[in-house]
Amino acid sequence: EAGVAQSPRYKIIEKRQSVAFWCNPISGHATLYWYQQILGQGPKLLIQFQNNGVVDDSQLPKDRFSAERLKGVDSTLKIQPAKLEDSAVYLCASSSTLGGSAGNTIYFGEGSWLTVV
Amino acid sequence: AQSVTQPDIHITVSEGASLELRCNYSYGATPYLFWYVQSPGQGLQLLLKYFSGDTLVQGIKGFEAEFKRSQSSFNLRKPSVHWSDAAEYFCAVGAGGYQKVTFGTGTKLQVIP
């Protein structure tokens, strides 16, 4: 079974530029998550999708971050314009909802490393 | 809202010694609890999870964790640590119908020969 795929793995941009990250979840997984992990910290949930609908985006800085999951499969996370404090690893994850969402294992991709200079 | 506390930022153990990583959670009802491991430059891998039932949970790589409701804890243990266990360990709590998962700040494990 293929895992969660993310690209690009590494990106360096200047502040005020834009960047987009792509995620392809495990086939059949209805729930997709984007987490931000700043160096030395735990992952912080940015947005959670159930199919193509948003169920939680309370910690997404909506003035600069946006995410979409068209057709309920792939997802894109965009940052525009980027700030220095956006330097982090952006982790995409997915989980199945078979038998209900609760307690299902979340599978993570390897992350997209962003450096803003 | 739920929260997780991992009081130890960094732990050093000798290879072959036992290990216990602490995790305390805050949530009004019975939570779903997870331990993940992250090696440098990698994503997170699930070690084990508690959903219901037996409070002692066995995971991969010889790890186990015990859910103690009275102490709001879910500590991770391993009887004999191997050098390959050096990594960062994250405790997480899931709650709600759509399982919002909140992670702790992590404990970095160093294993010395």
Determine the pLDDT at residue B2.
85
Closest-CA distance, B105 to chain A, in angstroms, reads 4
Which of B6, B21, B44 best probes binding to A when mutated, by most A CB atoms within 10 angstroms?
B44
Per-residue model confidence (pLDDT) at position B20: 97
Residue-wise pLDDT for B72-107, tens only, equals: 999 999 999 999 999 999 999 987 666 788 999 999
Q: Are B105 and B36 in contact (CB under 8 A)?
A: no
Q: Is 90 exceeded by the pLDDT of residue B19?
A: yes
3-state secondary structure of B36: strand
φ/ψ bin of A65: left (φ > 0), alpha (ψ from -120 to 50), beta (otherwise): beta
Instruction: Kindly list the distances between the CA atom of residue A91 and the CA atoms of A61, A76, B3, in Å, as whole numbers in the listed order.
Output: 16, 12, 20
Percent of chain A that is helix, strand, coil (3-state, to 5)? 5, 45, 50
The pLDDT tens digits for A41-83 are 899 999 999 888 998 999 999 999 999 998 889 999 999 999 9
B47-63 pLDDT, tens digit per residue, is 999 988 889 999 999 99
Could you tell me which of B21, B3, B2 has the C-alpha nearest to residue B13? B21
B-chain residues near A106 (CB < 8 A) = 34, 46, 101
Nearest CA in chain A to B10: A40
How far is residue B67's CA from residue A71's CA, in Å, rounded to a whole number?
A: 39
In terms of C-beta density within 10 A (0-12 exposed, 13-18 middle, 19 or more buried), how is residue A18 classed? exposed
- In chain B, which residues have their Cβ closer than 8 Å to the Cβ of A107? 46
pLDDT at A99: 46
CA atoms of A109 and B100, how far apart (whole Å): 18
- pLDDT tens for each residue of A78-116: 999 999 999 999 999 998 865 444 567 889 999 999 999
The whole-number pLDDT of residue A70 equals 82
Q: What average pLDDT does range A28-40 have in this prediction?
A: 92
Q: How confident is the model at residue B45 (pLDDT cuts 50, 70, 90)?
A: very high
B43 and A CB contact within 8 Å? yes
Residue A38 has pLDDT above 90, yes or no: yes
Structure tokens at A55: 């169920």
Rg of chain B (C-alpha set): 13
Contact A56 B100 (CB under 8 A): yes
For residues A73 and A52, what is the distance between their CA atoms, to the nearest angstrom?
8
Residue A94 forms contact with B (CB below 8 Å): no
* pLDDT surpasses 90 at B43: no
Please state, rounded to an integer, the average pLDDT across all residues of chain B.
92
Beta carbons within 8 Å of B47's beta carbon, 6+ residues apart: B35, B36, B37, B59, B60, B61, B63, B65, B76, B89
**Structure confidence at residue B54 (pLDDT):** 86
Mean of the pLDDT values across residues B3-8?
94
Q: Which of A39, A90, A3 is nearest to B40 (CA)?
A: A39
| Two structure tokens written together for A84 | 């220095």
Q: What CA dihedral angle connects A115, B3, B9 and B13, to 10 degrees?
A: -120
CA distance A41 to B19: 22
Partners of residue A107 on adjacent β-strands: A94
Disruptive mutation site among A106, A112, A113 for chain B (greatest number of B CBs within 10 Å): A106
* DSSP, residue by residue, A43-54: -EEEEEEETTEE
Per-residue pLDDT at B13:
97
